[in-house]
């Protein structure tokens, strides 16, 4: 095949349905010739993920719960048997008890703090360990983060702490793997209506706020995140590592919007 991703093989983790950010990224890289494998959480998701994967080529699907070392080992053993080598991984996974994604951060429980950090932060490190062992120079690792890491966003709570730790881990892993020619980056996406986002309190209001206050005066789409991912996963991004690329219609640069519109 031809395209920016021709000859590259990658693993997409975190596809739940056609609203998933992982789906926007999968479509963008597949359109440029990438060969894809997918991991999904739990057999219940298989029937939804299988037809999506099949629509992009020969489906290579593995079940993987990132909270389990055994499950991660099994995933990468299967990938090694299937392909031998790997060019990129997309980690589009996060989780917290939705009862703690409303109200005050300060009320967060120890058990949910640890579980959220495990699934939303450590899992990326665990994936990088295993993926890097299958990668040569030119390898690219990508995760998804949110502005709630940088500033306090209502209801984001413990996920804000998770994303701050995830962003720090991107920098540390970029340094560790850079000498092997492997790049590690994050995309900080603006709010997009997905299954995970629907667990966040007042999510519709957060989307409306971003639409009214971002420089582009709109929200972003899965497709736009996909295009940015294509840059970071392809040779276009060969000079970029340790980066947190905002795909948020510019929201993160605004301190206070000028009174130029009748919309507030």
Per CB under 6 A, residues contacting ligand NAD are 14-16, 20-22, 41, 64-67, 92-95, 119, 144-146, 189, 191-192, 194-197
Rounded to whole angstroms, how far apart are CA atoms 39 and 37? 7
What is the smallest separation between the CB atom of 206 and ligand NAD, expressed in angstroms?
8
Flag whether 195 is marked binding. yes
First to last CA, the chain: 49
Nearer to ligand NAD, 3 or 15 (CB): 15
- For residue 147, indicate whether it is catalytic: no
What is the smallest separation between the CB atom of 205 and ligand NAD, expressed in angstroms?
13
Which of 40, 105, 122, 146 is catalytic? The answer is: 146
Flag whether 163 is marked binding. yes
- For residue 40, indicate whether it is catalytic: no
Flag whether 65 is marked binding. yes
What is the smallest separation between the CB atom of 137 and ligand NAD, expressed in angstroms?
27
Flag whether 119 is marked binding. no
Helices 46-54 and 21-31, interaxial angle, to 10°? 20
- In this structure, are strands 183-189 and 244-247 parallel, antiparallel, or unpaired? parallel
Strand ordering across the sheet containing 9-13: 61-63, 35-40, 9-13, 88-91, 140-145, 183-189, 244-247
Task: Write out the catalytic residue numbers.
Answer: 146, 156
Binding residues for NAD(+): 14, 20-21, 41, 65-66, 93, 163, 192-196
């Amino acid at each position: 095949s031809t395209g920016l991703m021709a000859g590259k093989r990658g693993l997409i983790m975190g596809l739940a349905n056609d609203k998933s950010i992982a789906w926007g990224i999968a479509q963008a890289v597949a359109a440029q010739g990438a060969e894809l494998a997918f991991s999904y959480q739990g057999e219940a998701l298989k029937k939804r993920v299988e037809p999506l994967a099949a629509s992009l080529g020969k489906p290579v699907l593995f079940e993987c719960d990132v909270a389990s070392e055994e499950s991660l080992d099994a995933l990468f053993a299967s990938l090694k048997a299937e392909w031998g080598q790997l060019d990129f991984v997309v980690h589009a996974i996060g989780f917290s008890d939705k009862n703690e994604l409303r109200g005050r951060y300060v009320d967060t429980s120890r058990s949910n703090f640890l579980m959220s950090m495990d699934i939303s932060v450590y899992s990326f490190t665990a994936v990088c360990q295993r993926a890097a062992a299958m990668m040569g120079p030119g390898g690219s690792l990508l995760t998804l983060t949110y502005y709630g890491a940088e500033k306090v966003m209502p209801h984001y709570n413990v996920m804000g702490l998770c994303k701050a730790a995830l962003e720090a881990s991107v920098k540390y892993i970029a340094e560790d793997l850079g000498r092997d020619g492997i790049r590690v980056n994050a995309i900080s996406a603006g709010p997009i209506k997905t299954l995970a986002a629907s667990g966040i309190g007042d999510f519709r209001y957060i989307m409306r706020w971003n639409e009214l206050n971002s420089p582009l005066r709109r929200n972003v789409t899965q497709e736009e995140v996909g295009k940015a991912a294509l840059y970071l996963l392809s040779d276009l991004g060969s000079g970029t590592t340790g980066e947190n690329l905002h795909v948020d219609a510019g929201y993160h640069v605004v301190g206070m919007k000028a009174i130029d519109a009748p919309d507030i």
